[in-house]
Amino acid sequence: MELRQLEYFVAVAEEGNFTRAAERVHISQSGVSAQIQQLERDLGAALIDRSGRTATLTAAGSAALGHARAVLCAVEDVRHAVDDVNDIVRGRLVVGMVTACTVTPLFDALAAFHAAHPGVGLTLEEDNSDRLVQRVRDGEMDLALVGVAGEPPAGLDSLVIISEGLRALVPPGHPLATRRTTTLAALAKYPILCLPEGTGVRTVYDRACIDQGRTPIVALQASAPDAVVDLARRDMGVAVLSDTMAAHYDLATIAIRGIETPALLALAWSRSPSPALRELLNHCHTAFTPPLISSHSA
């Protein structure tokens, strides 16, 4: 008994005709007939009733059909399993992260994946969150670490790493330096220093201002938190960053009350991940296991 004989038998049973079955499996009608005859000899029973214009199953054929289909499905599963392994051990993954991001667990996950699957090429690219999300949606990027406002990106699978509020950062001697909390109304008296549009922190800030009936105005912006803080050190204004970003600096940090939308740091990927990406995601889940990580990202 051979797999091709089972395949031809199933084709004849489903098509009810030797000619159509031959076209389906791409061999001659005589070849299909000869292989099924050999199968019948091996099994010791006729499987196909050839007496009429339509090929029909005998009692033995009806009993054998389900098992033949199961065998062919099992063989297909074996092929898929091997293909999955082959896809994991070769290929290329493009991973994105927000500009000026320093999130150690992501690097740990990439390193662990590379050690386990050195045949998979890894490309790491920086951009702002809006563009990273769009590139994942467009299929140009496999996975991205992004900063977003309120909810993970729609239409993608995601893993939220951090959900947090915003803080104001000022140098010693600033009128706000001794406060533990403040409001957007109080901050409106000073120039605001923030990240650019398209980043999660900026989106949260802009949305909060609009929700409170204020026009969001940013005097100076920079793509990296370090640059925003450096401007604040020079008394150019009040820096606005997320809680975990603010924790990296020695300036006075003040919680901003009244902001309902949280700033999220999340991994985002297509809902149909490749085998290699699924393997990388396993490493990411391990690397980002609580307690929550310390991040420095937009």
The predicted structure's pLDDT at residue 249: 93
List the domain range (segments joined by +) for residue 155: 90-163+264-287
Report the alpha-carbon distance of residue 266 to residue 97 in Å, rounded: 10
The predicted structure's pLDDT at residue 86: 60
- Among the three residues 87, 103, 132, which one is the final residue of a domain in this structure? 87
The predicted structure's pLDDT at residue 274: 86
The predicted structure's pLDDT at residue 291: 44
Contacts of 110 (CB under 8 A, 6+ apart): 95, 122, 124, 280, 283
Sort residue 188 into left (φ over 0), alpha (ψ -120 to 50) or beta: alpha
- Among the three residues 87, 106, 138, which one is the final residue of a domain in this structure? 87
Q: Are residues 19 and 159 in the same domain?
A: no
Report the alpha-carbon distance of residue 204 to residue 264 in Å, rounded: 9
Q: Are residues 96 and 131 in the same domain?
A: yes
Total domains, the chain: 3
Q: Does the reported pTM lie above 0.85? A: no
From first to last of its 298 residues, what are the pLDDT tens digits of the chain? 888 899 998 999 999 999 999 998 888 999 899 999 999 999 999 999 988 888 999 999 899 999 999 998 998 878 767 656 665 556 789 999 988 777 889 999 999 999 988 888 999 999 999 999 999 999 999 999 999 999 999 999 999 999 999 999 999 999 999 999 999 999 999 999 999 998 999 999 999 999 999 999 999 999 899 999 999 999 999 999 999 899 989 999 999 999 999 999 999 999 888 888 998 999 999 998 764 444 444 5
Kindly state whether residue 44 falls inside one of the protein's structural domains: yes
Kindly state whether residue 8 falls inside one of the protein's structural domains: yes
Per the document, the length of the chain is 298
Chain centroid to CA 149: how far? 18
Kindly state whether residue 297 falls inside one of the protein's structural domains: no
The predicted structure's pLDDT at residue 148: 93
Q: Are residues 269 and 132 in the same domain?
A: yes
Q: Are residues 156 and 241 in the same domain?
A: no
CATH classification at residue 70: 1.10.10.10
The predicted structure's pLDDT at residue 83: 58
Nearest CA-CA partner of 165 in 151, 154, 177, 149? 149
The predicted structure's pLDDT at residue 298: 53
Q: Are residues 171 and 257 in the same domain?
A: yes
Q: Are residues 251 and 185 in the same domain?
A: yes
Q: Are residues 110 and 242 in the same domain?
A: no
Q: Are residues 270 and 256 in the same domain?
A: no
Kindly state whether residue 219 falls inside one of the protein's structural domains: yes
The predicted structure's pLDDT at residue 25: 87
Q: Are residues 249 and 274 in the same domain?
A: no
CATH classification at residue 185: 3.40.190.10
- Among the three residues 87, 116, 132, which one is the final residue of a domain in this structure? 87
CA distances (Å), origin 23, targets 18, 28, 104, 204, 256: 9, 8, 57, 61, 71
Q: Are residues 149 and 233 in the same domain?
A: no
